[in-house]
Copies of this chain bind each other. A is one copy, B any other.
Amino acid sequence: MRLSELSRRSGMSTATIKFYLREGLLHPGRRITTTQADYDEEHLRRLQLIRALIQVGGISVADARAVLAAVDDASLDQVSRMGTAVAALPQALPAPAQDDAEAVTADLVAREVQERLGWRVVPENPAHQALVSAVSALLRLGYPCDGEALLPYGELAERLAGHELALIDKFAAPTTQLEAAVALTVLYEPVLLSLRRLAHAEQATRRLREDALPREDAPRASD
């Protein structure tokens, strides 16, 4: 298809598509004249992934380039490609700035929860460092946070990942699976966070309304 059709079908302006071509995020089309090129379904799919990363995920062009380079890197096996692509996605939190007592404790806590779940600990995974940062912050602010406190989060994360990998299995080719893994990692983060906030609102409303009723001797449900 021509650039105009690619624009129409992707819902992106030709100027935006040309920008992604110039930035090396979208592979060039097959040149048919000196001024025209031909694009296919793979270009359309790639544009959708770029949109997921940049327009929805709020990821910078440079970070998106690193993620897509990992997806495309045929010199790596699929485990490494998926690992590299997902690791190139920006984290909610940077690695811990200070190497203080809390950061040391946080690293032990992060290792403990993963070991209790039977996961291999990979300290150089940026997500491990993000977890250490988050736990350090909680500890510095005086909120209790040990392996026990994190265990329910780890168990839920494990169930989610199982559910999501089953979804990704439905996509056929290895490259499409890699693309889906990257897109779903980014796109389901806001789904998860917004549902958590809605669940909080629902339960807080329920509990505080119950508290307002005159039955102070009633036993509290606890999780």
Contact = CB atoms under 8 A, between A and B. Distances in A.
Interface of A: 11, 48-49, 51-52, 56, 77-79, 82-83, 86, 91-93, 113-114, 119-120, 122, 125, 127-128, 130-131, 133-135, 137-138, 140-144, 149-150, 152-154, 156-167, 169, 180-181, 183-185, 187-205, 207-209, 220, 222-223
Contact of A191 (B82, B131, B142, B194): B131
B125 A199 contact: no
B205 A120 contact: yes
17 contacts: A48-B140, A49-B141, A86-B197, A86-B200, A91-B194, A130-B197, A133-B190, A134-B190, A157-B192, A157-B196, A157-B199, A158-B203, A165-B200, A166-B223, A185-B200, A189-B196, A192-B192
Nearest to A160: B196
Nearest to A196: B157
- Going nearest first, the 8 A-B pairs with the smallest beta carbon separation are A161-B199, A127-B197, A92-B190, A157-B195, A134-B190, A131-B194, A130-B194, A162-B223
A193 B134 CA distance: 10
Contact of A162 (B78, B189, B203): B203
Contact of A202 (B120, B141, B189, B222): B120
A51 B165 contact: no
B192 A153 contact: yes
Given A92-B189, A156-B192, 11 more contacts: A11-B140, A56-B93, A79-B204, A79-B208, A114-B198, A114-B202, A143-B180, A160-B199, A161-B199, A161-B200, A166-B222
Contacts of A135: 191
A56 B204 CA distance: 24
Nearest to A149: B167
Given A150-B191, A187-B138, A196 B161 contact: yes
Contact of A127 (B141, B181, B201): B201
